Amino acid sequence: MHLLDNESAAAGTRSAALGKASSVPGISAAQPPSMDHLDELEAQSIYILREAFARLKKLALLWSLGKDSNVMIWLARKAFFGRVPFPALHVDTGKKFPEMYAFRDRFGKEWDLDLRVEPCPPIDSVDPTLPPAARSAARKTEGLKLALNKYGFDGLIAGIRRDEEATRAKERVFSPRGTEGEWDVRDQPPEFWDHFNASPPQGAHLRIHPILHWTEADIWAYTKREGIPIIPLYLAKDGKRYRSLGDQDITNPVASTASNIDEILAELDATKIPERAGRALDHETEDAFERLRVAGYL
Amino acid sequence: MNMILPTASISATPNGTTRPQVRIVIVGHVDHGKSTLVGRLLHETGSLPDGKLEMLKAVSARRGMPFEWSFLLDALQTERDQGITIDTTQIRFRTRSRDVVLIDAPGHAEFLRNMITGASQADGAVLIIDALEGVRSQTRRHGYLLHLLGVKQVAVVVNKMDRVDFSADRFKEISEEITAHLIGLGVTPTAVVPISARDGDGVAEHTPRIEWYKGPTVVEALDALEPARPLAELPLRLPVQAIYKFDDRRIVAGRVESGSLKAGDEIVIMPTGKIAKIKTVESWPVTPVNGPQGAGRSVGITLDRELFLERGDIIGHAGQSPRDTRRIRARIFWLHDKPLTKGEQILIRLGTKESRATVVAIEKAVDPGALSNEENTAIARNHVGEIDVSLAQPVATDPYTDNPRTGRLVIEVNGRIAGGGLVLSVDAGRPAVPVDIVPVESALRPDERSARYHHNGAVIWLTGLPGSGKSTLARALERRLFGNGGSPILLDGDTFRAGLNSDLGFSPQDRAENIRRLAEVATHLARNGHIAIVAAVSPSATDRAAARRIADSAFREIYVATPAEVCETRDPKGHYAKARSGGLPSFTGITNDYQPPTGNELTIDTSNRSVTEATDEIERMLATTGILFDELTDLAANI
């Protein structure tokens, strides 16, 4: 360590550390750039997407056109170096906002997605004991079942997050569903150390949740950093904006002046109003959402 | 649930992208107050969303209960109806210095799998104990599991202090018991905090009711827990997730578990040991990326040459690669209804590798919740133990102490995760012994054989320098024993090398394996009543000791101690001449690498006695050590 003679103590310490690291041939002496919170989230999501692709035979990604599933598609393109190697499935209630359909038609092409649109069955095919908004949302579950039967998917990648809603907080990353798409919340398998249960029984499927660990704020911060396109309904117009996008008739805007993502982030930092406050179906009865999810809703 | 604290008291860095985020699991015995503490924490830090408090009041009233904080997290109908947490859940709030993700884990033994699911994601833990009930079975079990899950930062909270009149003595008693228990597991608690979660004492603020306590509040204790750091300092480990060929690139994809990599690095792919160089580090939308990629990154690399590698391989740097093995010892926890027993077929997952495996041994199987350390032969549900597994394929791994990321495994039964644990040691080179092989017993009894042959089975091991006379003696002994009606069988080292051992060279490892095979075959013959006569240089004392262990009491070692000069002049196979001219680089005899035996049954120098005399000596030794019988008197008469 003759460098110590000529250089400052600090420089000497640094070169000593480098000397140790480079004692094995071919190993870099420079330090890798440290990872920030978004880097960590991204790396974890990519790991999950690659595990799903490696372990399941017939995958599809559920594209609801919202901010979360757009981030998910972006992450899939990162995971697979530019292309999404499985279909993007849009289960269409036919009641989305026109801006959402325009977004789908444009970016389905631009992102070179294998887009499959599955229309939902009419409302009278849905459990009549559910409250009205939940019943309307449950159409989506039925549409999903139709798509599952039609294509035989064994894995559906869905953009739900733990911070959205209390029953989603209890979800697994790889979440088994029954043959009817149902969620057995009493008997979820253990899942740890990024080892996933990826063997659905014959006729059943798995839900894969690559952004389960993200928050609403993470989604916006990442959307901004990566420059991911969004539907303009998320930005305030006439003092209102949508925090969450669903069917036109059961989704309400919130009061807001946020006209860009930075302003959305500042608003989220201060609010105590939950993200899904504008979603009627979450609030009809104490267990409405759990009942929907047990039956196979996202 | 998205619960974000108002910004009043906190520097407004938006949304946790720069503040450290720490994940903390709350564990402990059922009903000791985990969910209540979480509810209280959110309330005290002003983190509850609008309308939540009113909702909880309504939900509690509907069930005819007093206000119940735990309903905040116990979102499922069955949880609220039964008043217990079934599954793990997560909730966020902020303290002064960081964003906290609180993981609430169930305390009920029936839902231990959910506790593990929650705790495995944590950087640190809060272990909660009811002041009235004290340390209970799940307290101990959760403490043990935190240790197995690698959660090293643990703060202890003694709850329900109001039930013991805020007694400092009671607190001290519990504090000492749990501290001793945790230290026994290698975990030193970061704090032990007396609180009443229901009333709020000690959660965010000190109250007069616990004026004797001067340590941190729960919020302060949480603030002291650090986020886990990626393993940047350890050698590179890149488990291969997949190989993609979407275009003309062949990209090896995976997540860097430790260390870092960059283009140009020389790498080794384990367990095959193949060597390559990283050509590029690929990415999207910009590619390739320059500079090193560190631990925690999901990456894709291309290599400078076409070689076969597959999902499950681990890439390391040359000189710092993981071990390859087919045998692993692990300390595990077991979650399956059916106990894990010796001989069971399981699936092991190590990183991205999966391999069928057989449990060959179970030790230290205990209930970590019980006070006694009664050991069982099987590992029951929610118990722990150490297992030896024999893997159907070679795998790359590290002991847990070398690398906590690659040194852990999970066990799958019928496609569902059934347990997991830490790799304690890796047994390189020791081949797999599947216990499901059931040897077929001979139809003959040992005494039937010995009545016919007039001898017991034995392994006679002749060791000595090349040319010392081992083969000559072996042949003479074979003739003598056969002439007396016995059943000798000659196993010559060189003969074996031409067939069974033709895959082996003369490296120390190959020599050891050569000796092991000879010993196994000889022992098989000895067990079936024959006298196996092994003539082999067998220069290594260690290898011969291994042979003695295999043959056990049937082993008779004879050192053919003919002086080296005599051996060289004999040179029956021309080896010495060849070695002297440099044609046999690892020839034992002129390289002085022969290690003479010490505990051998007989030593014979063939330079000063005839073959017949030497054979007589061996025969006498076999008689006095219980191999030959009946003929002893006749033999004596013949001499």
**What would the 3-class secondary structure string for B408-466 be?**
EEEEEECCEEEEEEEEEEECCCCCCCCCCCCCCCCCCCHHHHHHHHCECCEEEEEECCC
Which two structure tokens, joined as six digits, stand for A52?
Answer: 């799903």
Q: CB under 8 Å to B624, separation ≥6 — which residues?
A: none
Model confidence at B324, pLDDT cuts 50, 70, 90, reads confident
Strand arrangement, sheet containing A174-177 = A115-119, A88-92, A59-62, A155-157, A205-208, A174-177
What does the alpha-carbon distance between residue B93 and residue B155 come to, in Å, rounded to a whole number? Answer: 18
> Which residue in B17, B18, B92 is closest to A163 by CB distance?
B92
DSSP readout, A119-158? EPPPGGGS-TTS-HHHHHHHHHHHHHHHHHHHH--SEEE-
Convert the pLDDT of each residue in B1-27 to its tens digit.
333 333 322 333 444 446 788 999 999
What does the alpha-carbon distance between residue B38 and residue B89 come to, in Å, rounded to a whole number? Answer: 11
Number of H helices, E strands in chain A: 9, 8
Asked if residue B353 lies in contact with residue B399, where contact means CB atoms within 8 angstroms, the answer is no
State whether A97 and A235 are in the same domain: no
pLDDT at B78: 61
What does the alpha-carbon distance between residue B330 and residue B148 come to, in Å, rounded to a whole number? Answer: 11
State whether A268 and A289 are in the same domain: no
Burial per residue of B348-360, b for 16 or more beta-carbon CB atoms within 10 angstroms, e otherwise = bbbbbbbbebbbb
State whether A70 and A204 are in the same domain: yes
Which two structure tokens, joined as six digits, stand for B92?
Answer: 């966020």
CATH of B446-638, one of 2.60.300.12, 3.30.750.210, 3.40.50.300, 3.40.50.11540: 3.40.50.300
Cβ contact, residue pair B2, A25, below 8 Å: no
Cβ contact, residue pair B420, A30, below 8 Å: no
What does the alpha-carbon distance between residue B366 and residue B376 come to, in Å, rounded to a whole number? Answer: 6
A227 close to B (CB below 8 A): no
Distance of CA B181 to the CA centre of its chain: 24
State whether A200 and A251 are in the same domain: no
Catalytic residues of B: 538
State the CB neighbour count (10 A cutoff) for residue B341: 13
State whether A210 and A236 are in the same domain: no
State the CB neighbour count (10 A cutoff) for residue B149: 25
Query: Is A28 part of a structural domain of the chain?
Result: no
Q: Which of B228, B195, B192, B225 is nearest to B97 (CA)?
A: B225
Q: Is B325-426 in the same CATH topology as B238-317?
A: yes
Which two structure tokens, joined as six digits, stand for B181?
Answer: 């228990």
CATH of the domain spanning B325-426: 2.40.30.10
CATH of the domain spanning B14-223: 3.40.50.300
State whether A207 and A238 are in the same domain: no
Query: Is A51 part of a structural domain of the chain?
Result: yes
State whether A83 and A195 are in the same domain: yes
B54 close to A (CB below 8 A): no
Query: Is A160 part of a structural domain of the chain?
Result: yes
Convert the pLDDT of each residue in B396-426 to its tens digit.
999 998 999 999 999 999 889 999 999 998 8
Enumerate residues 395 to 424 of chain B having a beta carbon within 8 A of any beta carbon in chain A: 408, 410, 412, 415-417, 420
Query: Is A193 part of a structural domain of the chain?
Result: yes
Q: CB under 8 Å to A102, separation ≥6 — which residues?
A: none
Enumerate residues 244 to 273 of chain A having a beta carbon within 8 A of any beta carbon in chain B: 265-266, 268-273
State the smallest CA–CA distance between residue B343 and chain A in angstroms: 24
Most confident of A59-73, B28-42, B373-387, B446-460: A59-73
> Which residue in A83, A195, A272 is closest to B4 by CB distance?
A272
The residue written with tokens 């017949």 in the block is: B612
Cβ contact, residue pair B77, A266, below 8 Å: no
Chain B hits for A199, Cβ within 8 Å: 415-416
Q: What is the pTM of this model?
A: 0.72
State whether A195 and A70 are in the same domain: yes
State whether A96 and A199 are in the same domain: yes
Model confidence at A2, pLDDT cuts 50, 70, 90, reads very low
Distance of CA B623 to the CA centre of its chain: 47
Enumerate residues 143 to 202 of chain A having a beta carbon within 8 A of any beta carbon in chain B: 162-167, 169-170, 172, 185-186, 188-193, 195, 197, 199, 201
Model confidence at B319, pLDDT cuts 50, 70, 90, reads confident
Domain positions in chain B: 14-223, 238-317, 325-426, 446-638
User: What is the number of structural domains in chain A?
Assistant: 2
Q: Is it the case that residue A25 has pLDDT exceeding 50?
A: no
Query: Is A71 part of a structural domain of the chain?
Result: yes
| Lowest-pLDDT choice from A91-105, A176-190, A263-277, A284-298 | A284-298
State the CB neighbour count (10 A cutoff) for residue B537: 23
> Which residue in A47, A195, A272 is closest to B410 by CB distance?
A195
CATH number at residue A134: 3.40.50.620
State whether A249 and A177 are in the same domain: no
More confident residue, A271 or B489: B489
B385: β partners: B332
State whether A77 and A111 are in the same domain: yes
Which two structure tokens, joined as six digits, stand for B207?
Answer: 């109250």
Which two structure tokens, joined as six digits, stand for B413?
Answer: 């039964």
Model confidence at B440, pLDDT cuts 50, 70, 90, reads low
| Lowest-pLDDT choice from A276-280, B623-627, B633-637 | B633-637
The residue written with tokens 């887009």 in the block is: A115
Asked if residue B521 lies in contact with residue B492, where contact means CB atoms within 8 angstroms, the answer is no
Torsion of CA B192, B197, B199, B204, to 10 degrees: 60
Chain A hits for B50, Cβ within 8 Å: 272-274
State the smallest CA–CA distance between residue A75 and chain B in angstroms: 10
State whether A149 and A273 are in the same domain: no
Most confident of A250-254, B41-45, B64-68, B277-281: B277-281
Which residues constitute the domain of residue A45? 38-215+285-294
CATH of the domain spanning B238-317: 2.40.30.10
Cβ contact, residue pair A81, B251, below 8 Å: yes
